[in-house]
């Protein structure tokens, strides 16, 4: 064990720990959930610490090159995934995220001390506050790291997952382009469509949600780094903010901008509400798509049974041979969690006071966790469900051809009221639309055959855009 000192006194902590006394106080104060900051958030924070150190050297604020080199090396190691077990603050902690910022500062400082041959916890040559946190405050670095983490999770996780699922839907759109089925509106029989058109609609939904998320990504790209404690930039060297943004853009290969108003960037969590609102919007359509797929796959003997989902596990501990839509049930639960996460972020956004929103830790957790699990769920859905779907073409065609809604195609020929009369007679007598129309001599047989071609009904001409 070793003893460290801060403004509140002394505290004992494990000698092999890279974190220090302020982290240890947070561990003791906040044993709330056992949940730790997302690894991508830690990476983003380390990228920021590295960029800030580089700029401190360039501006002359940090003059000792050996210290700067050691800090940068420590940051690079954290970025590479080392010391993950040293980031131990609970996600539910004191406001603003000071505990997590100091956890980073202390791990970086102690690793940097080790690099230059000094014992951990001495802090004489390299200090968590004076060197690692130079020109910084939790109040500007934490929201900046949050933005970077969101950007990383969008680029490297969510967008590829959305593309993968959209591509899986597109493949099924093509595969089932001639698989005719009955559409259903109000859960009642409607005019014929193809199963491919159904999948094509789901593909388009995802593509549009990606556009909305891209707009939110642009909002996240404006950084408030350099605002320091309250937005005024106190204790930061001239040109610091612009240089940090430039270096971060290069390190992470993002087009980042400096916020026009650093006070706003510290007070407002609107960019995170924007992102989470777009994510929730996407999750709501995923819930709708999942419900649709489970409905048309229901059965196998007493439901729609128009498609078969891949069997991934036995579905019951008591009913032998039962197979459930397990993947779709999973993605639905994840989507529900995303909806809840968005609500938490929205409430946190309005809970700030004056020059700082102190609710950032709960926003960070919900944003990162929601982006991660939603990305994973979409990818799993693509790979273990959508790509393996098969169609029961005969059953779908039977439903389509026996639907009284086929009369819709005859309405322009015989009028709406007469068409409705025939539809009701068809339902009452269980006779087909074709049989009744021919019996009444309303339309010649050849003409009727052409009009009632169910596949042709799905190919109605659309106006040019």
Q: Could you read off the pLDDT of 37-71 as tens digits, one per residue?
A: 999 999 999 999 999 999 999 999 999 999 999 99
What distance in Å separates the CA atoms of residue 260 and residue 429, rounded to the nearest whole number?
72
The model's confidence at residue 460, banded by pLDDT at 50, 70 and 90, is: confident
Residue 335: in which H helix or E strand, if any?
A: helix 326-349
What distance in Å separates the CA atoms of residue 380 and residue 393, rounded to the nearest whole number?
26
State whether the Cα torsion 84-86-92-98 is positive or negative.
negative
pLDDT of 396 > 90? The answer is: yes
Q: Is the peptide bond before 300 cis (omega within 30 degrees of 0)?
A: yes
State whether the Cα torsion 324-325-330-336 is positive or negative.
negative
pLDDT of 461 > 90? The answer is: no
What distance in Å separates the CA atoms of residue 270 and residue 350, rounded to the nearest whole number?
9
C-beta of residue 181 within 8 angstroms of C-beta of residue 195: yes
Going through 316-444 in order, the beta strands assigned E by DSSP cover 390-391
Q: Which fold has domain 403-457?
A: Ribonucleotide Reductase Protein R1; domain 1 (1.10.40)
The strand pair at 188-194 and 257-258 is best described as unpaired
pTM (two decimals): 0.95
Residue span(s) of the chain under CATH 1.10.40.30 come to 403-457
Q: What is the pLDDT of residue 336?
A: 98
| Mean pLDDT over each residue of the chain, to the nearest integer | 96
With a pLDDT cut of 70, the percent of the chain lying above it is: 99
Mean pLDDT over 216-234 rounds to: 97
Report residue 93 CA to chain centroid gap. Answer: 24
Q: What is the pLDDT of residue 463?
A: 60
Instruction: Name which residue leads in pLDDT, 398 or 462.
Output: 398
- CA torsion, ordered 249, 253, 256, 262, to nearest 10 deg: -50
For 160-199, the pLDDT digits (tens) are 999 999 999 999 999 999 999 999 999 999 999 999 999 9
Is 316 annotated in the active site? yes
What distance in Å separates the CA atoms of residue 140 and residue 258, rounded to the nearest whole number?
12
Q: What is the pLDDT of residue 462?
A: 64
Q: For the range 321-328, what are the long-range contacts, defined as Cβ-Cβ under 8 Å and sequence gap of 24 or more? A: 325/293, 325/294, 325/297, 325/385, 327/380, 327/381, 327/384, 327/385, 328/290, 328/293, 328/294, 328/381, 328/385
The residue assigned the tokens 């938490």 is 344
Q: Where are the alpha helices (DSSP H) in 15-93?
A: 21-29, 39-58, 65-79
Mean pLDDT over 384-394 rounds to: 98
Residue span(s) of the chain under CATH 1.10.275.10 come to 2-134
Q: What is the pLDDT of residue 117?
A: 97
Q: What is the pLDDT of residue 405?
A: 94
- Please state which of the four CATH numbers 3.90.1580.10, 3.20.20.70, 3.30.420.40, 1.20.200.10 is assigned to the domain occupying 148-227+263-390: 1.20.200.10
Residue 415: in which H helix or E strand, if any?
A: none
Contacts of 180 (CB under 8 A, 6+ apart): 192, 193, 194, 195, 396, 397, 400, 454, 455, 458
State whether the Cα torsion 142-41-286-325 is positive or negative.
negative
State whether the Cα torsion 434-435-440-444 is positive or negative.
positive
What distance in Å separates the CA atoms of residue 259 and residue 225, rounded to the nearest whole number?
8
CB atoms within 10 A of CB 431: 13
What distance in Å separates the CA atoms of residue 113 and residue 124, rounded to the nearest whole number?
9
Task: Identify which of 109-113, 315-319, 432-436 has the greatest average pLDDT.
Answer: 109-113
State whether the Cα torsion 189-195-197-198 is positive or negative.
positive
Six-digit token string for 299: 């059965």
pLDDT of 124 > 80? The answer is: yes
For 137-158, the pLDDT digits (tens) are 999 999 999 999 999 999 999 9
Catalytic residue, from 182, 316, 375, 426: name it: 316
Give the CATH number of domain 2-134. 1.10.275.10
Identify the burial level of 429 via C-beta atoms within 10 angstroms of its C-beta, where 0-12 means exposed, 13-18 middle and 19 or more buried. Answer: exposed
Q: State residue 268 phi and psi, 5-degree precision.
A: -100, 130
- Closest by CA position to 363, among listed 19, 25, 38: 38
pLDDT of 361 > 80? The answer is: yes
The residue assigned the tokens 């196998």 is 300
The model's confidence at residue 262, banded by pLDDT at 50, 70 and 90, is: very high
C-beta of residue 63 within 8 angstroms of C-beta of residue 53: no
Mean pLDDT over 201-217 rounds to: 98
What distance in Å separates the CA atoms of residue 408 and residue 461, rounded to the nearest whole number?
16
């Amino acid at each position: 064990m070793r003893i460290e000192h801060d403004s509140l006194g002394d505290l004992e902590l494990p000698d092999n720990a890279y974190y220090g006394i302020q982290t240890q106080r947070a561990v003791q104060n906040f044993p709330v959930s056992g949940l730790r900051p997302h690894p991508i958030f830690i990476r983003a924070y380390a990228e920021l610490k590295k960029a800030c150190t580089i700029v401190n050297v360039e501006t002359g604020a940090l003059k000792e090159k050996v210290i700067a080199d050691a800090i940068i090396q420590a940051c690079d190691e954290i970025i590479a995934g080392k010391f993950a077990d040293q980031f131990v603050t609970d996600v539910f902690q004191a406001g603003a995220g000071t505990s997590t910022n100091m956890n980073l500062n202390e791990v970086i400082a102690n690793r940097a001390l080790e690099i230059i041959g000094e014992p951990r916890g001495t802090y004489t040559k390299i200090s968590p506050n004076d060197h690692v946190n130079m020109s910084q405050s939790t109040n500007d670095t934490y929201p900046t790291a949050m933005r970077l983490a969101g950007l990383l999770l969008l680029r490297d996780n969510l967008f590829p997952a959305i593309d993968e699922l959209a591509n899986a839907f597109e493949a099924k759109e093509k595969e089932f382009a001639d698989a005719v089925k009955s559409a259903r509106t109000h859960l009642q029989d409607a005019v014929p469509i193809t199963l491919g058109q159904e999948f094509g609609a789901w593909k388009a939904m995802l593509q549009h949600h990606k556009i909305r998320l891209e707009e939110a990504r642009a909002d996240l790209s404006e950084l408030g780094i350099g605002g320091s404690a309250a937005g005024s930039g106190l204790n930061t060297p001239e040109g610091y903010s612009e240089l940090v943004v430039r270096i971060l853009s290069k390190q992470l290969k993002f087009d980042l901008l400096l916020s026009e108003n650093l006070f706003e960037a510290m007070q407002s969590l609107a960019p995170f509400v924007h992102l989470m609102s777009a994510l929730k919007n996407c999750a709501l359509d995923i819930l709708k798509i999942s419900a649709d797929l489970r409905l048309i796959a229901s059965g196998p003997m007493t439901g729609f049974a128009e498609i078969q989902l891949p069997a991934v596990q036995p579905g019951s501990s008591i009913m032998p041979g039962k197979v459930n839509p397990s993947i779709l049930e999973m993605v639905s639960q994840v989507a529900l969690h995303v909806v809840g996460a968005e609500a938490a972020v929205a409430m946190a956004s309005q809970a700030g006071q004056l020059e700082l929103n102190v609710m950032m830790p709960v926003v960070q957790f919900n944003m990162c966790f929601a982006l991660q699990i939603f990305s994973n769920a979409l990818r799993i859905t693509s790979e273990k469900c959508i790509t393996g779907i098969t169609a029961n073409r005969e059953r779908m065609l039977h439903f389509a051809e026996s639907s009284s809604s086929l009369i819709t195609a005859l309405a322009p020929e015989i009028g709406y009221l007469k068409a409705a009369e025939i539809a009701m007679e068809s339902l009452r007598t269980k006779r087909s639309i074709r049989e009744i129309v021919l019996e009444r001599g309303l339309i010649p047989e050849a003409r009727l055959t052409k009009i009632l071609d169910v596949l042709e009904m799905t190919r109605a001409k659309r106006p040019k855009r």
